[in-house]
Structure 1
């Protein structure tokens, strides 16, 4: 039987509680994906193993299963705090395993912690030097670690998404960017059935990206979080320079790889083209509307185009300017908690009755009004702005930055139009948290925990957490083969004349030396006194002549034996022994 600290009490009520938790877990996991169910099954086995910790082998199986679950936990969350928690849980399991052989105490816990810290330099060197190979297999996507926009949008979907503060991506810029330029274009929705906006098959045709200008205005890097879709929310137009992505006919980017890991992508932000070609089928689709539109909407569209020349090249701009004036002349307001506006009648209710809405309601209404007059228009979903974590350099975009606007064809190119700017210009000029009205609305939609976390007093702590998370993801989670080779290239340029072999060996040697130094603790070393050093020297010299002091032999007896066997060495030994005894037993004389 296992005795000591590993033998934990297991009364009957604990067993009944674990059995109840087993049944509850099975019931709660019924709607999870395959990967989540398998993890839940392992967790159940780990919990139930606690009931039968009788022999040493049970403890070993329990600890190994716990360490396996620690590794699995990092699949669901790769944040720095999650890594620290995983390290702490792994340390506790190691202590449990150690308790099988020794009686644990504070000294042992401290010693184990110091050993692990001592191995950190060598582990860091191996992390940098070990070849970054691609994975040999792909795991199923964990459903609980994802966030982002869905591929179909109803008017109320985005307004529900903004209640969440989950991080979507971070963007790092080479040059400062104005907030008004930060329209992160994720997907184009050009099909409308009266209830939902969808992406058409024409929009999903892969294309080769052909920039109108090769000279970028700016460069930026995206660190994407796990997401439900493979969308690459980017500034338009942008050219992908690093990362695996696919360009499509609607000028959107998607990532090719799995979407449940944090990934880095690099883009060049390019000047907008003055003209472009558009597929005739795309323009036709961007004019289509469902049947049985409410008569009030049709009458409004007809009234606004009165006096305008439909054959003029700037007809689309003039008509939309008329529509803007119509909105501005009425008491429309921007709200994060709008009423429900289902279907086509919901559009009429929004325009003529409630006149309170979110970005998607304004964008949807203007698209419908434009299509009624034969102007090609389409809905665009993405994100607007973000929160600067480093002034004009590092930007964090979260779910609550979700936004919708529209693009219309002006005869030469697709032009962006954001009707939200007509009603709430502050929301377009600033991020949601920087705009006083929207920030207050968002806090009122959430519980006290988020309200407290987003107060001014917690801004510094949020900044520290954000910086730690960004650098962790950039230099640890995304330290792939490409970044490793770039690091080696920069080090070789900084150390002229060095080779890859010399650099690798030097870094590995440095890691070994630092780890060995931590274990040896030379700062605690104390040099012996001169008499002790003199005696040790004489003993070492005599050992070379095969005269060694035997176990239990006194110094006086050893001197006498040396006088008999090697009288020429006895005088020096006797002098060293006398000095040692004088220092040890008569230090004041």
Structure 2
């Protein structure tokens, strides 16, 4: 295969590697057109079909450009520019013919790799991108240094390894500036809770093993770990949503109208490492407060990040913090938490009215609700029958009687409101996998949970009706409650599903620990942590820090140069040749340099004609050198040659 075809083959593979992780960020048409263009190029390399005409390519490019222009109106400029770059590079690659075109495509692939890391920052993606960079570098080397493909890949990998120390140095010392653009946050959350919740949504979340957040504690975490995320106060008969007042308050708070002062240090604190969700809400224990102004506390006791969580982030929290508690409900707030649809679920309404007639005390009404769920054959399941939208609660309470946490929470909140007791639904997560050695808790989507908060004794109190039916849900995970067959049944490739297999569980925990270290040390290395690190290393003297950083950069460059010098291929020189060259250098210092084109005999004859005083010694040295070099058997001693070299040096010294 010709060198150009090898280069184009490397670029085809690299383009496919660049497109694969961008499937969720690219428009489907753009993605398919780009794959078709790369496939067409591969077919032309295999001589299966010829390249398309320029007219056809221009027509496809025009249609894609118009589609991307329409896409930019609702997806944002950054997403549109990414789509434009991908489709333009792929279509241009189809007609690539010259060396300068190939060089431009290699640069475009480097840029696509950087954009991929903007969207996907997992450590496995870094290894993936390094493989793509190695392939691009091999293609770049093949343009200027023709060699077999295996040798090009080996050289590219060596160059990449040599650049890693410099990359690490720049990562540590380069200023952590704010981005030049804002990442798009108009997309819906990729997974997790949303501003509206229904029983089916919670059930779907429990089929996902995706990581939501981690929490690292400075002390022992609580036994009952309820991670509050969103509070829902509006009910339409089937789904719960946040109230209009909550949404309005959040909009004003995130715009900076309500600043939140840092809380004082509490007996137990924890660091929250949140995965990207493209939303603002956080996951906190009840009574948590942020130590910085990066998060704002809501009137319902939850926390919101001031910036959308488009990448992994860390929040330092106090728990339990001394927070002001809501001691009375205003008329408006009471009305919001007693709101019910005008019609529907007549049996549930009648049951709540009967409880209220039998007991005027709110606690007794709540006790009657608990007795109802405990005495009837309710069961806990992940796959209940779908509820009707009009009278779904009646169907659940009096006919179906099997459901998930959201079914029980929604039914209890409805019954309490119908009995005149303010109640609201809370969505979040329960439990998590705790690792005592690291004091680290990992919470996944299958830990999603819903419960109720009831207004009793002039404060909101948590009530979890799921525990009335399945008490083990508080301390046990779904894998224990549901069994190995039902847990993550729709996600068979998740390692979390095979926790009972020792080897796979060890691998899962090891991968989780690597991901945690990557999140802590790389993704959360921001400007504040960089300043603290440099101050800890170099002190407060700014000039000393600058000098040490410059010295470190030079030392890193020297290290790379030294490694390259040590790893370069060395030619083993014959010892006789080395001695002869040493004699030539000594004669050159005495004024008799040797021309590079002269043979040893020609050099000797020229020095004899010039009456060089060292000519006799050179004659004897040349004779021994030629005999050793071409006629002596292996193992011949070099002592005569060294003796003649010393004699020559003495004669030159006497002359000077």
Aligned pair 1:159/2:210, yes or no? no
- Structure 1 residue 566: Cα displacement: 9.6
- Structure 1 residue 379: Cα displacement: 0.8
Matching of residues 368-387 of structure 1 within 5 Å: 368-387=414-433
Indicate which of 256, 260, 266 corresponds to 2:306: 256
Partner of 1:123, secondary structure, is helix
- Separation (CA, whole Å) in 1 of partners of 2:314 and 2:346: 49
Indicate which of 569, 582, 594 corresponds to 1:549: 594
Indicate how the Cα distance of structure 1 residues 275 and 242 shifts in structure 2: closer, same or farther if over 3 A, else same: closer
Count residues in correspondence.
578
Indicate how the Cα distance of structure 1 residues 580 and 191 shifts in structure 2: closer, same or farther if over 3 A, else same: farther
| Structure-2 residue corresponding to 1:11 | 48
Indicate which of 270, 278, 290 corresponds to 2:341: 290
Indicate how the Cα distance of structure 1 residues 502 and 169 shifts in structure 2: closer, same or farther if over 3 A, else same: same
Indicate which of 19, 27, 33 corresponds to 2:75: 33
Indicate which of 143, 153, 173 corresponds to 1:109: 153
Listed one character per residue, the Cα deviations across residues 326-345 of structure 1 (whole Å, up to 9, x for unaligned) are: 21111111111122223451
Listed one character per residue, the Cα deviations across residues 365-405 of structure 1 (whole Å, up to 9, x for unaligned) are: 11122223332221111111223467562232222222111
- Separation (CA, whole Å) in 2 of partners of 1:576 and 1:436: 92
Partner of 1:119, secondary structure, is helix
Aligned pair 1:72/2:115, yes or no? yes
- Separation (CA, whole Å) in 2 of partners of 1:6 and 1:562: 54
- Between stretches 535-544 and 250-259, larger displacement belongs to 535-544
Indicate how the Cα distance of structure 1 residues 174 and 552 shifts in structure 2: closer, same or farther if over 3 A, else same: same
- Separation (CA, whole Å) in 2 of partners of 1:522 and 1:575: 39
Aligned pair 1:326/2:372, yes or no? yes
Indicate how the Cα distance of structure 1 residues 144 and 349 shifts in structure 2: closer, same or farther if over 3 A, else same: closer
- Between stretches 73-82 and 561-570, larger displacement belongs to 561-570
In the alignment, is the contact (CA less than 8 A) between 1:4 and 1:103 conserved in 2?
no
Matching of residues 460-539 of structure 1 within 5 Å: 460-492=506-538, 499-521=544-566, 539=584
- Separation (CA, whole Å) in 2 of partners of 1:526 and 1:188: 74
In the alignment, is the contact (CA less than 8 A) between 2:452 and 2:462 conserved in 1?
yes
Listed one character per residue, the Cα deviations across residues 20-66 of structure 1 (whole Å, up to 9, x for unaligned) are: 99999999999893455543443333333343123334323433333
Indicate how the Cα distance of structure 1 residues 319 and 73 shifts in structure 2: closer, same or farther if over 3 A, else same: same
When normalised by structure 1's length, the TM-score is: 0.84
In the alignment, is the contact (CA less than 8 A) between 1:176 and 1:392 conserved in 2?
no
Aligned pair 1:335/2:381, yes or no? yes
Partner of 2:245, secondary structure, is coil
Partner of 2:300, secondary structure, is coil
Aligned pair 1:87/2:130, yes or no? yes
- Structure 1 residue 487: Cα displacement: 1.6
Partner of 2:486, secondary structure, is helix
- Separation (CA, whole Å) in 1 of partners of 2:551 and 2:468: 62
Aligned pair 1:186/2:232, yes or no? no
Indicate how the Cα distance of structure 1 residues 565 and 13 shifts in structure 2: closer, same or farther if over 3 A, else same: closer
- Separation (CA, whole Å) in 1 of partners of 2:378 and 2:163: 63
| Structure-1 residue corresponding to 2:95 | 52
- Structure 1 residue 216: Cα displacement: 1.6
- Between stretches 529-538 and 246-255, larger displacement belongs to 529-538
- Separation (CA, whole Å) in 2 of partners of 1:173 and 1:486: 21
**Higher Cα radius of gyration:** 2
Indicate which of 200, 205, 226 corresponds to 2:243: 200
| Structure-2 residue corresponding to 1:351 | 397
Partner of 1:202, secondary structure, is helix
- Structure 1 residue 164: Cα displacement: 2.3
- Structure 1 residue 534: Cα displacement: 6.2
| Structure-1 residue corresponding to 2:650 | none
Indicate how the Cα distance of structure 1 residues 40 and 214 shifts in structure 2: closer, same or farther if over 3 A, else same: closer
- Separation (CA, whole Å) in 1 of partners of 2:391 and 2:347: 10
- Structure 1 residue 448: Cα displacement: 3.7
| Structure-1 residue corresponding to 2:32 | none
Listed one character per residue, the Cα deviations across residues 327-364 of structure 1 (whole Å, up to 9, x for unaligned) are: 11111111111222234511111111111111111111
Partner of 1:181, secondary structure, is coil
In the alignment, is the contact (CA less than 8 A) between 1:209 and 1:239 conserved in 2?
no
Listed one character per residue, the Cα deviations across residues 425-478 of structure 1 (whole Å, up to 9, x for unaligned) are: 222212334x2416642333x054348964524222222322222222332233
- Structure 1 residue 215: Cα displacement: 4.5
- Between stretches 150-159 and 242-251, larger displacement belongs to 242-251
| Structure-1 residue corresponding to 2:355 | 304
Partner of 2:512, secondary structure, is helix
RMSD between aligned residues? 4.0
- Between stretches 504-513 and 272-281, larger displacement belongs to 272-281
| Structure-1 residue corresponding to 2:42 | none
When normalised by structure 2's length, the TM-score is: 0.76
Q: Structure 1: 5+ residue runs without aligned partners?
A: none
- Separation (CA, whole Å) in 2 of partners of 1:514 and 1:251: 54
Indicate how the Cα distance of structure 1 residues 177 and 2 shifts in structure 2: closer, same or farther if over 3 A, else same: same
Q: Structure 2: 5+ residue runs without aligned partners?
A: 9-44, 638-656
In the alignment, is the contact (CA less than 8 A) between 1:535 and 1:573 conserved in 2?
no
- Separation (CA, whole Å) in 1 of partners of 2:487 and 2:261: 40
- Separation (CA, whole Å) in 2 of partners of 1:503 and 1:403: 52
Partner of 1:171, secondary structure, is strand
Indicate how the Cα distance of structure 1 residues 550 and 402 shifts in structure 2: closer, same or farther if over 3 A, else same: same
In the alignment, is the contact (CA less than 8 A) between 1:359 and 1:403 conserved in 2?
yes
- Structure 1 residue 482: Cα displacement: 1.1
In the alignment, is the contact (CA less than 8 A) between 2:219 and 2:269 conserved in 1?
yes
- Separation (CA, whole Å) in 1 of partners of 2:341 and 2:226: 29
In the alignment, is the contact (CA less than 8 A) between 1:158 and 1:402 conserved in 2?
yes
Partner of 1:268, secondary structure, is strand
